[in-house]
Amino acid sequence: MGRPGLLVLDFDGVVCDGMDEFFESAWRAWHSLKVDELPASRRSELRTRFARLRPVVESGWEMALLPGVLATTDMAHDPELGDNGCWAEVRDAYLRGHGLAPDVLARALDTARDAWCQEDRRGWRQCHRFYPGITGWLTRLLGQGQRVYVLSTKDKRFLDDLLAWQEIPFTPDQVIGKATPRRAKWEVIQALAARHGLSPDGQGVWFVEDRLATLLEFRTSAPHLNTARLFLAEWGYVFRRDLESARAGGIPPLTLAQATGPFDGWPTG
């Protein structure tokens, strides 16, 4: 299968596991909004449920909302919340019922992260765990001149800080974070492919993501990029059911061992 002409990686759930940081930042952000109370006595329970349902979250503002939703929802309904459609309905109803807006939640989350970084940057960083082998693999690829980009909905300053902490030598333009106005990931990847002179049909583009809905959106919204290779990172924030759905849709699940090994060992679909 050769090497990719352009390799694009999601960050959370592909490069780095930040679950401890997600929950702590979301907890702090929710407390700052002074809406529904999050009892300290329920912290462990809510952390477990938060981690279990993390795959339904697409954007940071939803992550800030999730503890509040869980605190007012019986645990018996968690399997229903794991359905993306149900989550969207519950999420939007909760927003309306509490007079909240996504931009308010997004600011609260970023503010909580910034305050934490200023108070204890070392502690904030150590709540992140780069997946085994990822740091060395990326360092090797960059040293070999491989075109690699990180593409995330997380604010770029947090991405830059974490990648610098791991001493992974990305250039500033190779790390792409949250944009305003928001652009779909396929749009960003299409622009990157054009910048590097790749074929308009996506030939040579490889994209690794742990959110199946994002990969399916790529397929439906960018049919012209029909030769781009898409992979579902099965080590990330993925429901087990997503693996079979991905295979059925022609998107091969990728293991961490395959990802950090030779490119000719990656699945072909």
Label residue 181 by pLDDT band (50, 70, 90): confident
State pLDDT tens for residues 82-119.
998 999 999 999 999 999 999 999 999 999 999 999 99
Phi and psi at residue 135, to the nearest 5°: -60, -50
Q: Measuring CA to CA, which residue among 167, 163, 162, 168 is closest to residue 125? A: 162
- pLDDT over 90 (residue 44): yes
State pLDDT tens for residues 152-175.
989 999 999 999 999 999 999 999
Label residue 62 by pLDDT band (50, 70, 90): very high
Rounded CA Rg of the chain:
19
Count CB atoms within 10 A of the CB of residue 204.
Answer: 20
Label residue 1 by pLDDT band (50, 70, 90): low
Contact 246, 232 (CB under 8 A): yes
State pLDDT tens for residues 212-253.
999 999 999 999 999 999 999 999 999 999 999 999 999 999
Peptide bond into 200 cis (omega under 30): no
Per CATH, the homologous superfamily of domain 6-17+130-265 is: HAD superfamily/HAD-like (3.40.50.1000)
pLDDT at 182: 85
Dist CA 223 CA 114 (whole Å): 39
Q: Measuring CA to CA, which residue among 238, 235, 219 is closest to residue 227? A: 219
* pTM of the predicted structure, to 2 decimals: 0.93
- pLDDT over 80 (residue 180): no
- Residue boundaries of the structural domains of the chain: 6-17+130-265, 19-125
